[in-house]
Homo-oligomer: A and B are copies of this chain.
């Protein structure tokens, strides 16, 4: 867990009074800046692939979100910092307008980091004014405004995780294996057991009044057959056995689409693994380090997770199995939260009765519900209070640059 992460998350649900919200806002905003401390302007500029963004863009986009969804509507006489930013830092909200092409974000050298920091301060001042007076708003505005404020705080927290994974991906292109900080430290759990759960009709989805994303609900009944879940995550050592026993050369373990990718790319190991003079290393934000066999295997994609499970004659859990078990607070389950996102076999889809919100905010989650797979549990890069049992993350099955791992499951 990142030792410089804010306390905000644990406390963020504690209240929604002006004072509490302001503190949550400020801590979240500060944390984004803290992530960039010690990094150069160049570090913040570059973009390693279309799926990742420059750190500077993350800093600007999260600011744009507060400006766009809150200040422009709810702060009287608010004047946009720069009218061009509406286009430049819109990620994917078609209802707001056109977006600057995603693969070219790394080409925007101006505004500079310095100007983006000034933009953040400008918006922070306005937001602080808005939040301070939030209790004086009309009932309707107050509720809408508070909801959006909490959504945008959580939105920036999501980007904080992406800042770390995108930046790791960028640094990995540097043959000097640069170190960021000592942040990538996972817990070690030696013993593993397949824990039995009886299933039955369970409730899935968010259940209390605390914050959650729309895709976590509505809460609904779901029938589960009996199943087993591994008590801990798959380790580097276990995955290395798969690699060294020829797992990447044997099609029977792989989904058809995965096997085609392997033949195209020639991949024979996880992203960030590297064999030097016969020894295995792993590139991390801590630098290039010898592969620790006891640590959970990281940066495996859905295809790899599935192939490994097949090799072990196991399978991935469904998201409902995962949620039901983890919600049960069974103490034998280890490494549930804030270690690695755990792939489930569940395609990212709407829960029964799900409806996206109207307006631009409705584009937050719903329109991505195709061809992606659900991950649960958060990672070392997830702000700690940001995660919960019902939290649904989602990525394409070939995505490896997130902190993703494997928990095995089994049908009884």
Contact = CB atoms under 8 A, between A and B. Distances in A.
Interface of A: 40-46, 48, 56, 84, 87-88, 92, 94-95, 100, 104, 106-110, 112-113, 170-171, 173-176, 178, 201, 220-225, 251-252, 254-259, 302-303, 306, 315, 345-347, 349-350, 352-353, 362-363, 367-371, 397, 411
A84 B357 CA distance: 52
A353 B306 CA distance: 15
A223 B225 contact: no
Contacts of A178: 110
Question: Chain A's interface: helix, strand, loop or mixed, by majority?
Answer: mixed
Copies per complex of this chain: 4
B176 A255 contact: no
Interface pairs A-B: 4 shortest CB-CB = A347-B347, A94-B251, A41-B41, A42-B109
Nearest to A354: B411
B108 A352 contact: no
Nearest to A115: B40
A91 to B, nearest CB: 11
22 contacts: A40-B109, A42-B42, A42-B45, A42-B56, A42-B112, A45-B45, A46-B107, A46-B109, A84-B175, A95-B252, A107-B170, A109-B171, A110-B174, A201-B201, A201-B223, A221-B223, A225-B353, A255-B368, A255-B369, A256-B367, A259-B367, A315-B350
Contacts of A353: 225, 411
A176 B41 CA distance: 20
A46 B106 contact: yes
Contacts of A107: 46, 48, 170, 173-174
A252 B94 contact: yes
Contact of A411 (B223, B258, B352): B352
Given A175-B84, A347-B347, A368-B256, A352 B225 contact: yes
B367 A254 contact: yes
